[in-house]
Amino acid sequence: MRFIKRAKAAYISTCAAIAVIGLILILFPEISMLAVCYILGIAAIVFGIVKITGYFSADPYGLAF
């Protein structure tokens, strides 16, 4: 029973956080758009570096590429 209460509290707090993030995205679209662009850009750079590193690694099974 204790686990269910903790899971319910975590679920409610996650939903509240997502609702707040949604409000911020709606109220400040310029800042939100800039933040999303930076996050996607950083993710693309990291993904590219990981793929390049995987290509040049000595992986005998070819799992990194």
What is the per-residue pLDDT across 20-33, written as a single tens digit (0 to 9) for each? 999 988 998 888 88
Mean residue pLDDT of the chain comes to 88
List alpha helices for the chain, DSSP H: 2-27, 29-56
The pLDDT, as a whole number, for residue 16 is 96
Q: Is the pTM here over 0.95, yes or no?
A: no
Question: Phi-psi region for residue 44, left (φ > 0), alpha (ψ -120 to 50) or beta?
Answer: alpha
The residue ranking higher by pLDDT, 13 or 59, is 13
- Estimate to the nearest angstrom the gap between the alpha carbon of 5 and the chain centroid: 27
Q: What is the pLDDT of residue 11?
A: 93
